[in-house]
């Protein structure tokens, strides 16, 4: 220390003090950045214990292996058949909720919500804190439920089920009250004696129709917002993740009961189209996560009752990769972005648009890496990728690849179904790289929803922007470059609901940001302040600003009914006083107003 101080010609004691202060500043900054702040109101979590299904045990093998796993067994089409997509093992059946039952469930939720909407912010935070504590404590069991239900690896489950749910809970606990409390607004010019505010009133019962790719997060995340806003919830889970419904209901019921809340507030339902239609018909607002085609059906059905809907309909997400990117880091981020959950993500990376200088290198590196990945069941050791949850999605990928190859595309690696040596009924697809894709191919336009990378080459910024904007979707995107001015310039031109510079998915992990897309990817948002307020009716309120002093807004006598002949002149003069930019015009307005009040003509005679 002393030698360094001598070189800098600084008093050693001063130098040491400066180092200590700098170290403390760095430590404090790290603390604020890396550690979550204390929840507002010091939320208190209750301890709940909910047993996990027996099939969550990695060694469980009691379920028979189905010869041809499918949701609706032709021999028993009135029930939902649940099976493990990684092995084909039978998990059980679920009875679809009838239309009448959905109406009754929604009615019970509405009744419970009438009481719950009056609950304190503290109670709502405590409920969310209990969920948060449970998730951290039982994260392994939750990941096992997800893995068994959807076929994803345990690591993919931690990325997709645990981390974003914890982020959502912490953000909502810390920021929910502030985001949903009455917000003061300016009173305007003419209504200067009024105090204006906006209030966020719970909609009532949120109907959630969610997808299967994240059986836990996809239901808990929107439920968190609904509960914080004071709503009830009826949640239709996907048929493909119905096996987890009973456990999810047990967990939510236990959390509500331990905090003295009527468990009828939140109910999970199973079913096919009839259950979804009934929920759209009876809930006060709908959040739908799924495909564009089904989203259109939901919107059409909601139009009959003018029920508002939030639609999140997937994407064709892409990254623009420039020569001057931090190559190794970019490659690792993009592989996680495209291969997370075997590519079964609405905001998964499907396209890489790469500058010519590194194109050949990247194609080679990605193909080599993907060719070395290991597929298998979630509970096997050293497995990189899990199963494809929907068998129909495998056929879609095969059709898209066949069409692309017939029109000149090249499959650099993968492109085939993979057969598990022990579980041939499992549903797997090799990670795939495709080059030479053009806009006349279906694969360029349609969502793949699998472990497939389309890699394009570009030479100019304009070409890169044209490629990324050439699909009908607009959900997520990324730009990789160490030239931040260029990256910002290009990102501003990308037509998408989200864009990350030198990252992927950070806009979702930042739960303060809204999540959603444009174009065919849907509309409205969940996540962030916007998502919380989307669970509410927005109500404008005014009151007397100085009412406590006996001063209230009044209509001037000259404007009372019956109308006096001087009223128009008075109003014209008043408008001039209140809204003119020019001080002189305001003075002229005052004189005309006085004339109108005293019986003269206050109408403006200015030449325009």
Residue 360 annotated in active site: no
Catalytic position from the list 161, 177, 312, 412:
312
The first and second tokens of residue 297, run together, are 């059906």
CB contact at 8 A, 271 and 242: no
170-191 burial string, b = 16+ CB within 10 Å, else e? bbbbbbbbebbeeeeeebeeee
Nearest Cα residue to 458 out of 469, 474, 472:
469
Nearest Cα residue to 595 out of 578, 405, 574:
574
Residue 456 CA to residue 438 CA, distance in Å, equals 9
Residue 601 CA to residue 598 CA, distance in Å, equals 9
* 3-class SS of residue 387: coil
Helical residues (DSSP H) of 311-441, grouped into ranges = 327-339, 356-371, 391-406
CB contact at 8 A, 66 and 196: no
Radius of gyration of the chain (CA): 30
Q: What is the strand order of the sheet 232-236 is part of?
A: 266-269, 232-236, 205-209, 285-289, 309-312, 522-523
* 3-class SS of residue 455: strand
Q: What DSSP letter does each residue of 185-216 carry, written as one string?
A: E---STTTTEEEEEEEEE-SEEEEE--SSSTT
CB contact at 8 A, 161 and 167: no
Nearest Cα residue to 344 out of 81, 156, 479:
156
Q: How far, CA to CA in Å, does 506 sit from each of 330, 339, 503, 511?
A: 14, 16, 6, 9
* 3-class SS of residue 143: helix
Residue 405 CA to residue 408 CA, distance in Å, equals 5
Helical residues (DSSP H) of 117-244, grouped into ranges = 121-137, 139-150, 154-157, 163-180, 217-228
The first and second tokens of residue 133, run together, are 């504590």
* 3-class SS of residue 464: helix
Residue 211 CA to residue 97 CA, distance in Å, equals 17
Nearest Cα residue to 476 out of 309, 289, 319, 292:
319
- Chain-centroid distance, C-alpha 298: 19
197-217 burial string, b = 16+ CB within 10 Å, else e? eeebebbbbbbbbbbbbbbbb
List of residues 6+ apart from 232 with CB closer than 8 A: 109, 110, 112, 113, 116, 204, 205, 206, 226, 264, 265, 266
CB contact at 8 A, 226 and 531: no
Nearest Cα residue to 164 out of 146, 186, 184:
146
* 3-class SS of residue 349: strand
Q: Residue 417 pairs with which residues in a beta bridge?
A: 429
Tokens 């679809």 correspond to 96
Q: Residue 289 pairs with which residues in a beta bridge?
A: 312
Residues marked active site are found at: 312
């Amino acid at each position: 220390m002393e030698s360094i101080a001598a070189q800098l010609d600084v008093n050693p004691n001063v130098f040491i003090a400066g180092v200590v202060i700098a170290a403390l500043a760095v430590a404090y900054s790290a603390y604020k950045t890396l550690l979550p702040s204390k929840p507002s109101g010091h939320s208190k979590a209750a301890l709940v214990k909910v047993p996990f299904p027996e099939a969550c045990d990695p060694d469980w093998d009691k379920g028979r292996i189905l010869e041809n796993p499918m949701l609706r067994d032709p021999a028993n089409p009135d029930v939902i058949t649940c099976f493990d997509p990684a092995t084909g093992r039978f998990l059980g059946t679920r009875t679809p909720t009838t239309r009448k039952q959905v109406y009754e469930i929604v009615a019970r939720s509405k009744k419970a919500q009438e009481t719950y909407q009056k609950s304190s912010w503290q109670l709502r935070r405590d409920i969310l804190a209990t969920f948060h504590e449970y998730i951290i404590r039982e994260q392994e069991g939750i990941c096992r439920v997800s893995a068994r239900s959807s076929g994803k690896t345990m690591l993919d489950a931690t990325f997709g089920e645990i981390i974003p749910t914890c982020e959502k809970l912490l953000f909502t606990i810390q920021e929910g009250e502030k985001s949903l409390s009455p917000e003061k607004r300016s009173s305007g010019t003419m209504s200067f004696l009024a105090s204006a505010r906006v209030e966020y009133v719970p909609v009532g019962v949120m109907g959630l129709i969610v997808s299967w790719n994240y059986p836990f997060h996809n239901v808990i995340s929107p439920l968190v917002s609904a509960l914080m806003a004071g709503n009830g919830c009826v949640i239709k889970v996907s048929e493909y993740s119905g096996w987890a419904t009973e456990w999810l209901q047990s967990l939510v019921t236990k959390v509500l009961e331990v905090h003295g809340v009527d468990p009828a507030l939140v109910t999970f339902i199973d079913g096919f189209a009839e259950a979804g239609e009934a929920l759209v018909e009876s809930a006060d607002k709908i959040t739908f996560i799924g495909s564009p085609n089904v989203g259109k059906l939901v919107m059409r059905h909601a139009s009959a009752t003018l029920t508002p809907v939030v639609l999140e309909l997937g994407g064709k997400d892409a990254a623009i990769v420039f020569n001057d990117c931090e190559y190794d880091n970019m490659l690792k981020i993009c592989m996680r972005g495209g291969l997370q959950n075997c590519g079964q993500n609405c905001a998964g990376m499907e396209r890489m648009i790469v500058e010519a200088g590194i194109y050949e290198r990247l194609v080679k590196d990605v193909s080599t890496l993907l060719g070395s990945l290991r597929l298998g069941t979630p509970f096997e050791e050293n497995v990189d990728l899990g199963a494809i949850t929907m068998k129909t999605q495998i056929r879609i990928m095969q059709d898209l690849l066949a069409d692309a190859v017939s029109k000149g595309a090249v499959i650099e690696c993968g492109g085939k179904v993979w057969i598990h040596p022990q579980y041939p009924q499992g549903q797997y697809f090799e990670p795939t790289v495709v080059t030479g894709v053009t806009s006349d191919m279906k694969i360029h336009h349609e969502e793949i929803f699998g472990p497939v990378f389309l890699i394009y080459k570009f030479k100019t910024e304009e070409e890169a922007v044209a490629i990324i904007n050439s699909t009908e979707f607009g959900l997520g995107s990324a730009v990789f470059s160490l030239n931040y001015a260029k990256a910002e310039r290009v990102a501003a031109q990308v037509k998408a609901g989200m864009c990350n510079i030198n990252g992927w998915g950070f806009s979702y992990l930042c739960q303060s940001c809204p999540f959603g897309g444009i174009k065919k990817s849907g509309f409205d948002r969940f996540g962030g302040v916007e998502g919380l307020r989307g669970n509410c009716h927005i109500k404008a309120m005014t009151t007397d600003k100085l009412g406590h002093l006996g001063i209230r807004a009044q209509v001037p006598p000259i404007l009372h009914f019956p109308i006096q002949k001087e009223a128009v002149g008075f109003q014209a003069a008043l408008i001039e006083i209140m809204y003119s930019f020019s001080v002189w015009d305001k003075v002229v307005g005052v004189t005309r107003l006085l004339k109108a009040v005293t019986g003269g003509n206050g109408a403006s005679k200015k030449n325009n």
